[in-house]
Amino acid sequence: MTRLTILEYPDPRLRTVAQPVETVDDELRTLIDAMFETMYASKGIGLAATQVNVHRRLLVTDVSEEHDRPLVFVNPEVVAREEIGTAQEGCLSVPGIYEDVERAQRIRVRALGRDGKPFEMDAEGLLAVCVQHEIDHLDGKLFVDYLSELKRQRIRKKLEKERKLRGNERAPVRSTAPAI
Ligand code: QAP
Ligand code: CO
Q: Which tens digits make up the pLDDT trace of 17-52? A: 999 999 999 999 999 999 999 999 999 999 999 999
**Cis previous bond, 178, omega within 30:** no
- 136-148 pLDDT, tens digit per residue, is 999 999 999 999 9
Residue ID of nearest Cα to ligand 1 atom 19: 95
Answer yes or no: pTM beyond 0.85.
yes
Residue 170 has pLDDT above 80, yes or no: no
CA–centroid distance, residue 92 to ligand 2 (Å): 6
Instruction: Round the average pLDDT of the chain to a whole number and report it.
Output: 94
Position 178 scores a pLDDT of 46
Position 167 scores a pLDDT of 84
- Rounded Cα distance between 61 and 113, Å, is 12
Q: What percentage of residues in the chain have a pLDDT greater than 90?
A: 92
- Rounded Cα distance between 106 and 70, Å, is 19
Question: Is ligand 1 within 6 A of the CB of residue 6?
Answer: no
Alpha carbon separation from 151 to 10, 13, 124 (Å, rounded)? 14, 21, 28
Question: Is ligand 1 within 6 A of the CB of residue 76?
Answer: no
Residue 172 has pLDDT above 80, yes or no: no
pLDDT-based confidence at 168, cuts 50/70/90? low
- Rounded Cα distance between 171 and 169, Å, is 6
- Which entry of 66, 77, 102, 134 is annotated as an active-site residue? 134
Q: Which of 11-25, 92-106, 160-174 has the weakest average pLDDT?
A: 160-174
Instruction: Give catalytic status of residue 120 as yes or no.
Output: no
The residue with greater pLDDT, 173 or 82, is 82
